[in-house]
Structure 1
Amino acid sequence: MLCPGLFRLLLLLLAALFPPFAGAQTAQPDSPLSGRARLNTNIQEQANSVLSIMSYTTVPDVTTSSLSINNGATGNPGFGQTQLGGGFTLGKSFPLYLEGTIALSRYDPTFVATDGAARRLVPVKWDTASTTVGIGWDFRITDELVLRPILNGTIGRVTSDLRIAQALINRAADTNLQFLDNGALNAYGYGGSLMLDYEHYRENYEIDVELRATDIYLRSFGSTSAAAQGSSTAQQLSLWARWRAPTGLHALQKPVRYVLETAYSQYFGNSAGVLGFNNLTSLGVGLELDSSHYPVIVTRTRAMVRYVFGHNVHGVALGFAMSF
C-alpha cells in the first residue's frame, strides 16, 4: 500500500506527463505580485501567499537559486531570492544521501489603508530566511541509475518591516496592521522527494541527469502574529541535466572542462501562479577547474552563466559551485 506522501509524488509525475489534467493555477488578482491588497481584507490570505513564496526556497533548484522579479509599477525589485545548497551520497557501500539549502528572499508588497473615504498606500518589506534539510537512501537500479527517496524538513521565518507614519498606525491599530508593523511569521515544513539520478561518466565526457518530484507542507507556528496564521504546500517537478567535456586546455595539472546545463521546473499546488508563472527553464554555460591532483578538499570548481525564463519572466544569473 502506498503511503500518502509517495502517492502525492506519483500524482505530480502523472500531472507532468498529462498537462491538460494538471490543474495548474494562474495568477489571481489577489496574488502577491498582482498589485495592491486592502488592509481590510484577510491578512491570512497574504500569509498563505508568503508561505507559497517560501516554497520556492525549499528545494535545491537551479532555476530559482537566484531569482529577482521587478515590480512593473515602480521598476524596483518586487521579489528577490538567493539560495545556497547541495547534496551528496556518502558512498556506494553506505549510500546514505544528505542535502541542505539555505535561502534568503525579500518581497515588497504594497497595501492600501482606507477608512472608507481616504486611501493611502502602505509600502511593506517582508524578509524571509529558511533552511531545508533532507535525508535519503540510494537504491541502485543499474551501475549508472539510482532511485532516491528523500525525507525533507524545513524551518523558516518571515519578518515584516512597515515604512509608514506612526499616526496612521495609531488610527488603524488593528491586528492586520500590527502584523505588518514589525510582525513575524514562523513556519515549519515536512514532506519528501523522489529522485531518479543518472550518472554516465567517460574519459572524454560526463553526463548527469536528475528527475525529481517534491511535496512539502508548510505551516506557521509558535510566536507567529495572530493575524498571519497560514499554510501552504510546495509541490514541484524538476528535470536537470549537465554535460561536461574537456576544452583542450589544462590548468592545475588537469584538463579544463566546458559545462553545458539545462533545467526545467514545473510548479503545482500553492506554488503555481503565486509569482505569475507555473514553470521556469534555465540554460547555462560555464567552465570547470579540476583540483583533484592536489591534496585539497575541493575537487572541482565551476563558474556558470545561466539564462532563466518563464511566462513574463526572464533574466541572467551568475552561478558558482564546488564539488568535494
Structure 2
Amino acid sequence: MGKWYVRVGIYFLCTFLLNANAQAAFQLRNVDVQKMANSIVALMSYSAIPDLASSSLSINNAQTGNPSIAMTQFGGGFTISKTTPLYLEGAAAYSRYDPKFIATDGTQERSVPLKWNSGTVQGGVGWDFEIYRRWVIRPIFNFSFSMLFSDTEIGAALIADYKDLENIDFLDNGNVSIGGLGSALMLAYEFHDDVIGTDVDLQLRYSYIHLQSMGGSRSISGHSDSSTANVYYRFRAPMGDLRVLGEPFRYVLETSASQYFGDQVGVLGFHYLATAGLGIELDSSGYDVWVTRTRLVGRYMFGDNVSGYSVGLACSF
C-alpha cells in the first residue's frame, strides 16, 4: 500500500498541477497589442488620404492567417471659379479587414477569427495660386474622422469559448474613434482643346496626416503619422465621329502612382501602388441636368506583392 503520507502528497501535487493548468489564461500568440493598435490606426491612413491607387487590394499575410481586406473610396474636388479660386474636396470610404489570430495557453491553440469594419469621412479646403498658364499650385488643409468596430455578433459567440483570453476587449465589441489633421500640396495642370475636344489633367500631390484614437476599447489606443506622394494623369478624347446625346462620345485613359512614407509604409506589406485604367465618357452638357459628364473606368492596380482591380464611376457637374 505504501506510506499514506506519500500518497496524500502525490494527490495534492496532482490536484495543484491540474488546477494551475485549468486556470492558465489564453493569450494571443506573437501579438503586441500596442503595436497592433498603432497599425490599425495607420491602416486608416489609406482612407483618410485621397488616393486612387488604394481602392482595391489583394493581400496575404501569414502572421494573421492570410486575411482579406476590401477598401472602397469615393469623393472628389473642385475649384469654385477663376475669380474665386477656393478649392474644396471631400471623400467617404469604407473598409473591411478579416484577420485571424492564434490564442494559446501553452498546451493548446485556438483560432480566433475577427472582422473589423471602418467608415471614414475626409475633407479639405485649399486655394489655387496660378503660377503659369494652365498651371496652379494648391495648398490644402485636410481633416478626417473614422469609426472602427468589430463584428459584435462574432465576438459574443466567442466569449464563452475564450473567456480566459487576455486582451479580449479589443476583439469583443471593439470600437474606436479616430480623428485626423493634415495638409497637402498639389501641382495641377489642366488643358482643354475646344476644337478637337481633348482634355488633359495632370496632378502631383504630397499629403501628410496625423491620426489619433479618441476613445473606444481600452486596448485599441494608437496613433500614426503617414504621408503619400502621388501622381495622376488622365487623357480624354473623342472616339472619331461617334456622338451620343448630341455630343462626342469619348474614351478615357488614366494612370497613377503612389509612394507611401511614415507609419503607413509596410502596414499592409507594400510601399507603393500604381494603377492603369481604360474607360468611356458620356457628355450630357447639352441637356438641362446637373451632371455634365459621366465616366466609367476599369482599372488594374499593382505594387510590391499586391495586385487588384476596380471599376470606377465618376461624374462632373
**Residue deviations 1:137-180 (CA, integer Å, cap 9, x gap):** 001112300100000001001102245533333222x4x21121
State the Cα deviation string for residues 164-216 of structure 1 (Å, max 9, x = none): 533333222x4x21121011111000010000010011132211000000000
The match for 1:182 is 173
5+ long unaligned stretches in structure 1: 1-36
Distance apart, 1:77 and its partner CA:
5.9
Provide Cα deviations, 1:245-289, integer angstroms capped at 9, x if missing partner.
Answer: 111210111101111110000000111111111001100111101
Give 1:273's aligned residue: 266
Q: CA separation of 1:40/1:177 partners in 2, compared to 1, >3 Å: closer, same or farther?
A: farther
Please tell me the residue identity of whatever aligns with 1:49. Answer: S
2:211 to 196, 212, 218: 218
Alignment deviations for residues 36-93 of structure 1 (CA, whole Å, 9 cap, x no partner): x93574322111111111101112222113x132447799861110001100010011
1:138 aligns with 2:128: yes
Q: For 1:145-294, list aligned pairs within 5 A.
A: 145-161=135-151, 162-163=154-155, 165-172=158-165, 174=166, 176-203=167-194, 204=196, 205-222=198-215, 224-248=216-240, 249-294=242-287
What amino acid is aligned across from residue 96 of structure 2 in structure 1?
R
Taking structure 1 as reference, are residues 75 and 245 closer, same or farther at Cα in structure 2, changes over 3 Å only? Answer: farther
Determine helix, strand or coil for the equivalent of 1:93. coil
SS of corresponding position for 1:294: coil
Task: Return the alpha-carbon distance in structure 2 between the equivalents of residues 310 and 256 of structure 1.
Answer: 32
Q: Which amino acid aligns with 2:68?
A: G
Distance 1:75 1:252 in 2: 51
CA contact (8 A) 1:206 1:244 kept: yes
- Provide the residue aligned with 1:47 in structure 2: 37
Contact 2:123-2:142 within 8 A present in 1 as well:
yes
Q: Normalised by the size of structure 1, how large is the TM-score? A: 0.83
Q: Tell me if the contact between 1:59 and 1:101 (Cα under 8 Å) persists in the aligned partners.
A: no
- Partners of 1:75 and 1:285 in 2: how far apart? 34
Q: One-letter code of the match for 1:228?
A: I
Equivalence map 1:108-119=2 (5 Å)? 108-119=98-109
One-letter amino acid of the structure 2 residue matched with residue 253 of structure 1: G
Find the residue that maps to 2:287 and give its secondary structure: coil
Distance 1:168 1:190 in 2: 41
CA distance in 2, matches of 1:72, 1:235: 23
Residue 103 of structure 1 and its aligned partner are, at CA, apart by 0.3
The residue that corresponds to 2:22 in the other structure is: none
Partners of 1:68 and 1:77 lie apart in 2 by 11
Structure 2 unaligned residues grouped into runs of 5+: 1-26
Q: Measure, in 2, the Cα distance between the counterparts of 1:82 and 1:69.
A: 13
User: In the alignment, which residue of structure 2 is the partner of 1:68?
Assistant: 57
CA distance in 1, matches of 2:264, 2:306: 16
Which SS does the other structure have where 2:186 is aligned?
A: strand
- The alpha carbon displacement at 1:316 in A equals 2.1
- Cα contact 2:274–2:302 (8 A) shared by 1: yes
Aligned 8 A contact 2:52 2:256 in 1: yes
